[in-house]
Amino acid sequence: MKFSNLFAAAVAAFGLVRSGCSQIVKHRPSEGAGVSYSINVPKNTSVTGSGPIFLQLQAPPGVKWFALGQGSQMTDGNLFIVYAASRHNVTLSTRRATGHVQPLYDPSIEAYLLDGSGIHDGVMTANIRCDNCTTLANGESALGNSSSWMWALTHGPPMMSSNVSQLLYQHDWHGTFTLNTTWAVGGNNTNPFVVPMATMHELSAYTHQQQVSDTILHKKRIAHGVMTSVAFVLLFPNFALLLYIVPSRRTVAWIHAPLQLFAVLLALAGFGVGVSVSKDLQEIGGYHPVIGYVAVGGVVLIQPVLGIMQHLHFRKTGTSSLYGVSHRYLGRFFAALGVINGGVGFHYATAKNPDIPPASPIAYGIICGSMFIIYVSVIFWRRSKSASKTARFSLPFFRRRQEKAPIAKLENNSDSTLCGSGVVETSREKSWVP
Ligand SMILES: *[C@@H]1O[C@H](CO)[C@@H](O)[C@H](O)[C@H]1NC(C)=O
Ligand SMILES: *[C@@H]1O[C@H](CO)[C@@H](O)[C@H](O)[C@H]1NC(C)=O
Ligand SMILES: *[C@@H]1O[C@H](CO)[C@@H](O)[C@H](O)[C@H]1NC(C)=O
Ligand SMILES: *[C@@H]1O[C@H](CO)[C@@H](O)[C@H](O)[C@H]1NC(C)=O
Ligand SMILES: *[C@@H]1O[C@H](CO)[C@@H](O)[C@H](O)[C@H]1NC(C)=O
Ligand SMILES: *[C@@H]1O[C@H](CO)[C@@H](O)[C@H](O)[C@H]1NC(C)=O
Ligand SMILES: *[C@@H]1O[C@H](CO)[C@@H](O)[C@H](O)[C@H]1NC(C)=O
């Protein structure tokens, strides 16, 4: 790989220096407003797999707080959060995330500020030695070939707090990067950041990085939630009900199909935004995304095909078919799946973002419940209406036969109404069916 080659060249050039000196790897995220994160692993720590490591966090003026974390998820390892304590000092708050609540101050992380820490010309510097930061929460080594780290920052005026439990609000930007920490090995357990620059060299190299603006992410999450819930909770069921409410020969082709197509496009757009959000959150394999793939896949790929097949069948024969029945039941299934997945989504959203008002899942539940009641009522209303019409029109002599056949047929047809075929009256007025 390019980096390795580059590094090999660098090592060749600095080979002699490297053996005696601290090696520092520095990462400066391009969206990090000039914030930089440096890592050094002393030789002994690298050899034995435990011992101190050295970190340097540096931020220009205008940064309220910034953080470096071990691992690629909040729950993976230690977090080092730095903010201004006073005009000249910084606070180091070591935290651990348990679950998805705001990470709490954890004094058991043995990390200390070293010489050179402080605020000089507005630049915050924290030189840190951590004595037990070589393993992640899952027991794996935090160092090595592809060691994952994450960072976050918030812009704003200096915090001016020496309270290590200071409440911090959502960050503005966050990201992850992966380093080969063998590039950072060197030194003899002394603070490498106060050694004169000439005797160490810094490499800016990472093998993989991701950067996410939390402001944009927040907007994407809202857009995703609104688009998919409007499509699944309101549009799909209501546009299906139109077949019951507006029983006309034109309903399917002129009203039901175009409106459902619009709903499908909205669901698809919401899905696209959701995929982008799940990439930002690194949640691609979670329940919510997987159920989402099924529900959206169903309404985008299966439902239109079944609907069109039933419509063609109906134009030929005037009857319902397996296409129609599947279209109706799968439609209900996919819509219900999408609605339930919306609830699952709220669970995710509130877990990862405490800003979401607790009333919104409740409102969602109420809207879903109301929609369900409306849906069921309309279907029963239409069925009872059809049934009473049938009863009125059938002659006593034929009642026995007709009571079975036409009702079965009507039910089929009201079934097929949902499936985009015909409408309730169609079976009795075949004249306009070609
Ligand atoms: C550690 O290395 C630094 C230079 O890298 C040197 O100044 C210092 O004396 C060394 N300390 C020990 C204990 O070897
Ligand atoms: C703040 O920094 C000054 C030196 O700049 C130091 O004397 C003082 O002890 C520091 N205060 C704290 C609380 O760390
Ligand atoms: C660091 O050590 C303390 C005790 O020495 C322990 O309670 C804590 O869990 C350790 N932290 C890590 C990250 O290993
Ligand atoms: C990490 O760096 C070491 C030292 O240069 C190198 O030998 C190794 O191949 C690198 N590993 C990866 C996965 O890049
Ligand atoms: C480094 O990566 C190589 C393969 O690229 C692997 O064989 C080796 O075990 C890794 N070393 C460490 C310390 O992870
Ligand atoms: C530190 O901040 C936390 C959270 O805001 C607060 O509960 C606590 O009382 C503060 N401690 C001090 C000493 O101010
Ligand atoms: C490194 O470890 C060895 C023993 O494993 C010890 O003798 C030596 O003093 C250590 N070096 C430093 C700089 O801590």
Name which of 342, 428, 434, 343 is nearest 390 in CA terms. Answer: 428
**What is the 223 CA–ligand 7 centroid distance (Å)?**
56
One domain, residues 49 and 93: yes
Q: How far, in Å, CA of 262 to CA of 304, rounded?
A: 12
Ligand 7, atom 4, residue with closest C-alpha: 44
Ligand 2, atom 8, residue with closest C-alpha: 89
The structure tokens listed for 104 are 């709490």
Residues with CB under 6 A from ligand 3: 78, 108-110, 132
- CATH number of the domain that 281 lies in? 1.20.120.1770
The structure tokens listed for 204 are 């800016």
Length of the chain: 434
Q: Is residue 406 part of a domain?
A: no
Check pLDDT > 80 for residue 299.
yes
**What is the 8 CA–ligand 1 centroid distance (Å)?**
25
Q: Is residue 371 part of a domain?
A: yes
Do 307 and 415 meet the contact criterion of CB atoms below 8 Å apart? no
Query: Does the beta carbon of 44 sit less than 6 angstroms from any atom of ligand 1?
Result: no
Q: Is residue 416 part of a domain?
A: no
Do 420 and 311 meet the contact criterion of CB atoms below 8 Å apart? yes
Q: Is residue 403 part of a domain?
A: no
Q: How far, in Å, CA of 129 to CA of 40, rounded?
A: 10
Query: Does the beta carbon of 190 sit less than 6 angstroms from any atom of ligand 1?
Result: yes
Q: Is residue 129 part of a domain?
A: yes
Q: Is residue 1 part of a domain?
A: no
Q: Phi first, then psi: give them for residue 116, nearest 5 degrees.
A: 95, -10
Do 175 and 151 meet the contact criterion of CB atoms below 8 Å apart? yes
**What is the 76 CA–ligand 7 centroid distance (Å)?**
29
Q: What is the DSSP letter of 102?
A: P
Per-residue CA distances from 170 to 107, 288, 327 (Å): 22, 23, 44
Please tell me the total count of domains within the chain: 2
Predicted TM-score (pTM) of the model is: 0.73
In one-letter notation, the amino acid at residue 201 is H
One domain, residues 180 and 309: no
One domain, residues 308 and 340: yes
Check pLDDT > 80 for residue 131.
yes
Check pLDDT > 50 for residue 139.
yes
Q: Is residue 151 part of a domain?
A: yes
Per-residue CA distances from 47 to 56, 197, 370 (Å): 22, 25, 64
Of 207, 237, 268, the one marking the end of a domain is 207
Based on the number of CB atoms within 10 Å of its own CB, is 10 exposed (0-12), middle (13-18) or buried (19 or more)?
A: middle
- CATH number of the domain that 66 lies in? 2.60.40.1210
Q: Is residue 413 part of a domain?
A: no
Check pLDDT > 90 for residue 134.
yes
Name which of 34, 190, 251, 37 is nearest 122 in CA terms. Answer: 34
One domain, residues 191 and 261: no
Query: Does the beta carbon of 89 sit less than 6 angstroms from any atom of ligand 2?
Result: yes
Check pLDDT > 90 for residue 303.
yes
Q: How far, in Å, CA of 174 to CA of 188, rounded?
A: 32
In one-letter notation, the amino acid at residue 395 is L
One domain, residues 319 and 193: no
Q: Which domain covers residue 53, as residue numbers?
A: 22-207
Q: How far, in Å, CA of 68 to CA of 168, rounded?
A: 14
Mean pLDDT across the chain, nearest whole number?
A: 80
pLDDT digits 0-9 by tens, 364-421: 999 999 999 999 999 999 888 877 766 554 433 333 333 333 333 333 333 333 333 3
**What is the 48 CA–ligand 7 centroid distance (Å)?**
10
Based on the number of CB atoms within 10 Å of its own CB, is 199 exposed (0-12), middle (13-18) or buried (19 or more)?
A: exposed
Name which of 136, 151, 133 is nearest 57 in CA terms. Answer: 151
pLDDT digits 0-9 by tens, 24-65: 888 888 888 899 999 999 988 999 988 999 999 999 999 999
The structure tokens listed for 46 are 């690298």
Residue 205 pLDDT? 63
Do 232 and 339 meet the contact criterion of CB atoms below 8 Å apart? yes
One domain, residues 53 and 165: yes
Residue whose CB lies within 8 A of the most ligand 2 atoms, among 83, 88, 91, 161, for a mutation test = 88
Phi-psi map region of 122: left, alpha, beta (phi>0 left; psi -120 to 50 alpha) = left
One domain, residues 240 and 345: yes
Residue 432 pLDDT? 31
pLDDT digits 0-9 by tens, 266-279: 999 999 999 998 88
One domain, residues 228 and 179: no
Highest mean pLDDT among 241-255, 286-300, 348-362: 286-300
One domain, residues 248 and 315: yes
Of 173, 207, 241, the one marking the end of a domain is 207
Residue 204 pLDDT? 60
Query: Does the beta carbon of 182 sit less than 6 angstroms from any atom of ligand 4?
Result: yes
One domain, residues 198 and 258: no
Q: What is the CA radius of gyration of the chain?
A: 32
Q: How far, in Å, CA of 89 to CA of 68, rounded?
A: 18
Query: Does the beta carbon of 183 sit less than 6 angstroms from any atom of ligand 4?
Result: yes
One domain, residues 298 and 164: no
One domain, residues 234 and 194: no
